[in-house]
Structure 1
Amino acid sequence: MPNLILPSKLTRVMVLALILILFPWPVFTQGTASAPEAPPYQWPRSHNYDVQHYRIAVSFDWSKKSVIGETTITFQPFTSDLKEVEFDAGDMTITSVKLADGAPLQFRYEGHEKLFVTLDRAYPAGRDTAITINYTATPKRGLTFITPNETEPDRPYQIWSAGQTEENHYWFPCYDYPNDRATSEMLATVEDKYQVISNGTLVSVTANSAGKTWHWKMDQPFSSYLISIVVGEFAEVRDQFKNTPVISYVYRDQVENARRSFAKLGPMVAFFSEQLGYDYPYAKYAQITVRGFPGGLENISATTMGDTFVYDQRALLDASPDGIVSHELAHQWFGDLLTCRDWGEIWLNEGFATFLANVWTEHDQGQDDYLYELLGDQQAYFQAWSRGSRRPMVVKRYDDPDAVFDTYAYARGGAVLSMLRFVLGEELFWKAIRRYVAKYANQPVETPQLVIAIEEATGQNLQWFFDEWVYKMGHPEFEIASKYDDSANTLTLTVKQTQKPDDQRPWFQSPDFFTLPVDIAITTASGERVHRVRIDAREKEFTFPV
């Protein structure tokens, strides 16, 4: 945050230029690393059918850490001449493929990754067609078995999934990409002592010779990477938002610690519902704590998170799980209700969740704590930039989907939303966000849809903002010169942007200059006056009366 101390005959004038609570102008050099190679293009995936529903029936072999499954995929062809469909099915043994009514189908399995099914005839476009696939798998990704071992003999028996980005197809066949949405149901058979938590509503628990079959059903469409399952032994810590149960599943000896650790979960659901103008949209909200989970994952209606976020009373004096709890909850709107259409748009999931977690902090702890979290986002961005990690927030060129889950999706994404809040002002910003949520609920989204929603809600065309801050990369670096005129009692500031394009990454564009509103606070002996100015050129001069 720049400070200029300027002398005069009668007083000193201090000028504080607050650049949107964001992007001061430290200068970071590139370093001596070798020039990077251009990443490949990753265009959004095409598909010739629209999945309507997944019915996933599974049981497990704990000793082999394997899954025995039957998945029925109901889909609608986009064209009437569809003869073959392709599903993602990683490292599976496919035992049979048939129409849901029982007629067998020919198939071929290529590269331990793709399942091609030949239809018995061409089905009309837009008409439901259902295929049932029987298989076994020992997943190396997507599904984790937790069992006791020599170093941790008291580890619990658990199974949990983690489908983001494209790993659910290692434990059930599917279309594993975020630009398609379908409903789902999960039927999981486990031993009597275990519980199963999955997406949506618990329909039934049925006893049988193998134990119990837990039947969960999700009746709102969503992207397949958000399908989840957790198997284990848990106690419930219950809260409620209106008529919606809010449940934390924790170990039975951690109930009181969880009650304290997650005391704010219910109020968070209420706060986000009110702030976004859209009530929490699903039949329940659950967060399930499990062993060995690296952070949290916003599976629809059923977040999975590590058991290390349950703190005892002493630990809560020094730490809080509120950050991850609020972040994953925010994803139920941004990530689940509205899901990025392709991974290059992931900031629409992660940036919004980061920003809303900060907004919860502002609501719960006050503005100073909010600004401190925003400072952390800002510092994370500058550190990434200085070590040579550089890209726009929206990209079509990246090495693989996991590569874009980085500082630009999270920290810079959240900070840019905070800047957008400053540009629009409080009332118009939240009006725009509510419009965006309401208009695109239950749909895959791209950044242009956010831009359109903002204009529809506020009348403000912010294409210039998104062009510079989202579609291009970098940040402003400033040289500021000041001149005080004693006779006229005026202060003149000359603001010059000195940043240069990154010539090592010509495939990513940088703006010629950044456009941004700035508050200039001028403090004299008689008090403080704040002037809002707009920097919209590479060099600009401003004169203020003092």
Structure 2
Amino acid sequence: MIRSVSLSLLTTTILGWFHNPAPAANIPGAGFTVASYSLALTPDIQNKTVLGRESITLRANVDGVRRLNFSANALIIDRATLDGVALAHTVEGDALGFDLLRPLRRGRTVRLELHYHGRPARGFVGSSTTLYTSYFACDWMFCSEDKFGEKAAFSLDLRVPAGVSSLSVGSLIARRSGPDGSEIHSWKAPRPYSVYLYGFAMGRFTHASEWAGSKKLTYISDTTDSAELKRRFAGTREMVAFLSLKAGMPLPVSEYRQLLVDGGEAQEAATYSVLGTESLPTKPNDSSEDWAIVHELTHQWWGNLITCETLKDFWLNEGITTFMTAAWKEHRYGRVAYDAELDVAKSRLKRAQVKGFDKPLAWNGIYPTLGVRRAIQYSKGALFMAQLRVTLGDTAFWSGLRRYTRDHAGGTVTSIDLERAMEASSGQDLQQLFAEWVFGDEISD
């Protein structure tokens, strides 16, 4: 996201856990790592409520875990069990916690199962006939939104009314009849992803598909027909080819879906994007409005496949993606369009600087507003990538980006990983440049 929409779960990062200390009592996600989330959901489109069952497989990563904490939300838990044994739960501050009968030793794997219902406070959007999630996964399921870089397997059995289509992370692997004439659609992610990338949609959708080499592109909407869908998303195939070349690896999903909705949405999910009609160009070949489709597509590599370890390095997700949007415009429309996109970034950063706020990209403090955070992590991040390109030259720069992408595919990164990749590709010492733009007073080696 770059203009009107951003990750709305931009919260402070949690501290890392070292050695084997007992975890702090009320920090969501402290003391354990989630391996998988398996959900069965029955959403109510009109009332925007959900009935759910969630199975969480997790592993203690310290000794003495006495409480399992997740981000608190507005949902009501009807029953909770750990390996089949009933658990009580309490809410303390922002943490929903389950007190264990016996502490977990490091390395112990358990399964927490939750039955719940309610109306999510955030994240359920749509009309009387359509429902889609808009960020805030930890409001319609149970997870820890602060564990930004933690990647877990995800599967979903989504119960929908007969005749209704669905969309979620990964592939639709099965459909079967449900109670009262409903259908159950089973979705499974192709690899572990961070929880902020989970989502789903349901409605009476029109579908249109085409191929970008071996990758299937599917366009979905309840607002228009298949011909209009193909017209609105006509540039996607060329974008896939361009980004695959620059990343040094193909689109990381076998099928990439784009859901067109009313409004100004511009949101990436693990294997699809949600795009509002107001975010797309109103006329063809308009370089000034051509950003949303390529920006969200770019996240399939930088952000989704490769994810910053914590929000401290969030610029690696959004700064690279904002820069790649400019690079796409250069490829599609010429150098003037590239410069114009970077000028937008410069003007946003300048507004923050005029207000007396400018920080290194990997600054770990509290931003005064979300707009200022965007000015640093999106706009300044893009300008730094452009400066790296000038410093290294095109050959070494793109080689470094390919190295960074291939080396860390499927994992998490910090800023030093990008520095090392760029140094390896160029043979240059970039410590001073990264200190100036990224680390500030921190040491980058």
TM-score category, normalised to shorter length:
0.7 to 0.9
Which of 141, 144, 148 pairs up with 1:172? 141
Distance 1:316 1:232 in 2: 28
Deviations 1:311-353 (A, max 9, x none): 67xx337677631111111111111111122223211111111
Are 2:88 and 1:106 equivalent residues in the alignment? yes
CA distances 1:491-532 after superposition (whole Å, capped 9, x unpaired): xxxxxxxxxxxxxxxxxx79xxxxxxxxxxxxxxxxxxxxxx
Q: Which residue of 2 aligns with 1:134?
A: 115
Deviation at 1:140, TM superposition (A): 2.0
Change (3 A) 1:252 1:143: closer
SS at match of 2:353: helix
Alignment of 1:352 with 2:320, yes or no, is: yes
Rounded to whole Å, the distance in 2 between the matches of 1:123 and 1:41 is 27
Cα pair 1:89 1:172 within 8 Å, conserved: no
8 Å contact from structure 1 (residues 338, 444) kept in 2: yes
Instruction: Kindly indicate whether the alpha-carbon contact (under 8 Å) linking 1:278 and 1:438 is maintained by their aligned counterparts in 2.
Output: yes
Residue in structure 2 matched with residue 235 of structure 1 by the alignment = 206
Deviations 1:41-99 (A, max 9, x none): 85546521111101121112344321111111111111343232111231121111113
CA contact (8 A) 1:86 1:117 kept: yes
Residue deviations 1:141-169 (CA, integer Å, cap 9, x gap): 1222423xxxxxxxxx2211122xxx221
Aligned residues: 418
TM-score (norm 1): 0.72
Deviation at 1:120? 4.3
Conserved 8 A contact 1:42-1:397: no
Task: Please tell me the residue identity of whatever aligns with 1:161.
Answer: T
The answer for the alignment partner of 2:21 in structure 1 is none
Distance 1:374 1:170, change over 3 A: same
The residue aligned with 1:496 is none
Contact 2:223 2:261 in 1 (8 A): no
Q: Is the 8 A contact 2:280 2:290 kept in 1?
A: no
**What is aligned with 1:449?**
417
Match of 2:185 in 1: 214
Residue 283 (str. 1) matches residue 264 (str. 2): no
Q: CA separation in 2, counterparts of 1:357 and 1:414?
A: 9
In 1, Cα distance between equivalents of 2:12 and 2:46:
42
Q: CA, structure 1 residues 42+53, in 2 after alignment: closer, same or farther (shift >3 Å)?
A: closer
CA spacing shift, 1:41–1:334, aligned 2, 3 Å? closer
Q: Distance in 1 between matches of 2:207 and 2:311?
A: 34
The CA distance in 2 between the partners of 1:257 and 1:144, in whole Å, is 23
Q: 1:44, 1:342 within 8 Å by CA — same for their partners in 2?
A: no
Correspondence for 1:9: none
User: 2:322 aligns to what SS in structure 1?
Assistant: helix
Q: Gaps (5+ residues) in structure 2?
A: 1-10, 18-29
Q: Which residue, out of 217, 226, 235, partners 1:255?
A: 226
By how many angstroms is 1:181 displaced? 0.8
Whether the 8 Å CA contact 2:266–2:279 is kept in 1: the answer is: no
- The answer to whether the 8 A contact 1:42-1:398 is kept is no
What letter corresponds to residue 56 of structure 2 in structure 1?
A: I
Partner of 1:477: none
Q: Offset at 1:289?
A: 1.3
Q: What is the rounded CA distance, in whole Å, between the counterparts of 2:48 and 2:88 in structure 1?
A: 29
Instruction: Determine the C-alpha separation between the residues in 1 that align with 2:15 and 2:213.
Output: 38
Against the structure 1 CA distance between its residues 277 and 319, is the aligned structure 2 distance closer, same or farther, given a 3 Å change threshold?
closer
Change in Cα spacing, 1:342 to 1:187, as seen in structure 2 (3 Å) is same
Q: Which SS does the other structure have where 1:352 is aligned? A: helix
Following TM superposition, by how much is the alpha carbon of 1:275 offset from its aligned partner in structure 2, in angstroms?
A: 1.4
Please give the root-mean-square deviation of Cα atoms over the aligned residues, in Å: 2.5
Question: Within 5 Å, which residues of 2 pair with 1:111-510?
Answer: 111=93, 113-147=94-128, 157-163=129-135, 167-176=136-145, 177-210=147-180, 211-251=182-222, 253-292=224-263, 294-309=264-279, 315-316=283-284, 322-399=290-367, 402=370, 405-472=373-440
1:276/1:434 contact within 8 Å kept:
yes
Alignment match, 1:494: none
SS in 2 for 1:60: strand
Identity of aligned residues (%): 27
Normalised by the size of structure 2, how large is the TM-score? 0.87
Structure number having the greater strand percentage: 1
* One-letter amino acid of the counterpart of residue 58, structure 1: L
Q: CA deviation at 1:243?
A: 2.5
Whole-Å Cα distance in 2 between the matches of residues 231 and 446 of structure 1? 36
For residues 369 and 16 of structure 2, the distance between their equivalents in structure 1, rounded to whole angstroms, comes to: 12
Q: Distance in 2 between matches of 1:277 and 1:67?
A: 41
Shift of 1:103: 2.6
Letter in 2 for 1:184: F
Do 1:451 and 1:461's aligned partners in 2 also have CA atoms closer than 8 Å?
no
State the one-letter code of the partner of 1:71: E
Deviations 1:208-258 (A, max 9, x none): 224111111013111111101111221122122332211111236332222
Instruction: Report the CA distance shift for 1:301/1:264 in structure 2 as closer, same or farther (over 3 A).
Output: same
Task: Measure, in 2, the Cα distance between the counterparts of 1:456 and 1:447.
Answer: 15
Give the Cα separation in 1 of the matches to 2:286 and 2:421: 41
Partner of 1:395, secondary structure, is: coil
For the 8 Å contact 1:88–1:115, the answer to whether it is kept is: yes
Native 8 Å contact 2:151 2:192 kept in 1? yes
Which structure has greater helix proportion? 2
**Contact between 2:223 and 2:262, CA under 8 Å: does it hold in 1?**
no
2: CA distance between counterparts of 1:64 and 1:201? 27
Name the CA distance, whole Å, in 2 between partners of 1:106 and 1:400.
38
Paired residue secondary structure (2:153): strand
**Structure 2: how far apart are the matches of 1:468 and 1:89?**
38
Q: How far apart, in 1, do the equivalents of 2:211 and 2:428 lie?
A: 38
SS of match in other structure, 1:83:
strand
Describe the SS at the equivalent of 1:196: strand
Alignment partners' CA distance in 1, 2:196 and 2:388? 29
